[in-house]
Amino acid sequence: MIILFLNCGSSSVKYSVYDWDQKKSLCAGGVERIGIDGTRLTQDRNGFPPFEVKQNCKDHKEAINLVIKTLTDKQHGVIENINVISAVGHRIVHGGKFAKSVIVDDSVVAELRNIADLAPLHNPAHIMGIEAARALLPNVTHVCVMDTAFHQTMPPEAYMYALPRKWYTDYGIRKYGFHGSSVLYTSRRAAVLMDKPVEELNTIVCHLGAGASLTAVQNGRCVDTSMGLTPLEGLVMGSRSGDIDPSACFHMMKKLNMPPEEMYTILNKKSGMYALTGDRFSDQRDVRKGMDEGDELCNLAADVQAHRIKKYLGAYMAIMGRLDCIVFTAGIGERGPDVREHSLEGLENFGIVLDKERNNVASTNKAECCISADNSKVKIFVIPTDEEIVGVQDIVALLDGTYDVYTKFRYIFQEKGYRNKLRDAAFIEDVKKNPAILKAAVNLPEQLKKELKK
């Protein structure tokens, strides 16, 4: 069974092609900086060097078309044509009323369109992906994997807002949470690395990318998360404000005679790191470059970002009472040692001690790393996320009738012997470029260690 999985972020499209019968990823790739100059597609494939295409994509539709073209390319592709695909998975940021992954039909698409304004940077892109894939592959099963599903275990005190009761009962106004597939994968991989049952582990997952969130996972279940009704609440993000006093919006709308639609756009697309750097940079790499050049606003943006992360870390430690490990994941979490260090500064009295050398070399999305000091009571991991494998297994389980909620379902990546062979092969190339990364990498199988010694 060949499964194509599409994962559209606010400024990216990740994709993978998975052969479920062989339990093997045929390739994985992504398109970055969509809507920003310098868009590029990169693809990893077993036995081949990484492949890259530089081609500006103004929107997600163009990016997905580029993905399909690459997958079927005679030289760099992994499938002969799109007809060999058995099912297509679509990661959906806001699932609304959907509490689990669902098979796509017109009513599902209609509901996603109806709630698109709750995730304006993501759901419209997801819908474009669904429509494009259904048009190209009308005879295969399409499945939506809902990022909100993992957070359905939150207790009422975590998901309820102090707003009129009818807003909740009649309109579903509550905290939903996002990045659920990423948190599910990384929290369970953390349990493997800690050699503990996930039901006995307390973890805080820091999913840091263009969109960013923290999630408290107590005994394997979500008990709180920083994003809310929409992905706007919580941390300072690339172009989203995160937490603010709502009165600031009303005050400025009155001052500037601003309509609600314009304020909505400002909060989602013109705030966050973009606003803090003087309406210039939403991409962390651009912010880092500015910091290296002594830009005061870039330094301020980094300080505000780290302060917010640290505040949520403290809050979730208090809620859970005991913390076993912290996980950094997603683009910035995996490749931003400076952000990780800045966010954990001053937490040594809480048993959180960073090993700066390990942290500085841990910049890869191909291997799991431990960046905590040996005397740290709380383990600190960098775990490359893999939302696609969560979606792939949901799809297979839906097709064969074994699917269930995550608290009653065991994924293949929870097994000690699980390996992503595509990542293992790519990690060898990473080590050739940066051998020091081995100081932080953990959970490497013996065969891979032998390959690295060659």
Is 394 tagged catalytic?
Answer: no
Higher pLDDT among residues 374 and 114, named by residue: 374
In SS3 terms, 192-206 reads as HHHCCCHHHCEEEEE
Q: What is the Cβ-side half-sphere exposure of residue 145, based on CA atoms within 13 angstroms?
A: 30
* DSSP H/E element including 380: strand 379-382
Task: Using the predicted structure, report yes or no on whether residue 155 has a pLDDT greater than 80.
Answer: yes
For residue 293, what pLDDT band results from cuts at 50, 70 and 90? very high
Task: Using the predicted structure, report yes or no on whether residue 98 has a pLDDT greater than 90.
Answer: no
The listed range with the strongest mean pLDDT (200-204, 230-234, 445-449) is: 200-204
Q: Which of 21, 37, 59, 147 is catalytic?
A: 147
**With pLDDT > 70 as the criterion, what percentage of the chain qualifies?**
100
Between CA 296 and CA 304, with CA 300 as vertex, the angle to 5 degrees is 175
Q: How many residues are listed for the chain in this entry?
A: 454
Mean pLDDT of 401-413: 90
Higher pLDDT among residues 250 and 47, named by residue: 250
* Nearest partner of 82 among 98, 64, 99, judged by Cα: 64
| Domain 2-146+387-414 top-level CATH class | alpha beta
Higher pLDDT among residues 449 and 29, named by residue: 29
Whether 2-146+387-414 shares its CATH topology with 156-382 is answered: yes
According to CATH, the superfamily of the domain at 156-382 is ATPase, nucleotide binding domain (3.30.420.40)
Residue 453's pLDDT is: 73
Per-residue tokens: 158? 């975590």
Residue 226's pLDDT is: 98
What residues contact residue 368 under an 8 Å CB cut-off, 6+ apart?
189, 193, 381, 382, 383, 384, 441, 442, 443
Spatial contact of 390 and 3, defined as CB atoms under 8 Å apart: no
Domain residue ranges in the chain: 2-146+387-414, 156-382
How do beta strands 13-19 and 2-8 pair? antiparallel
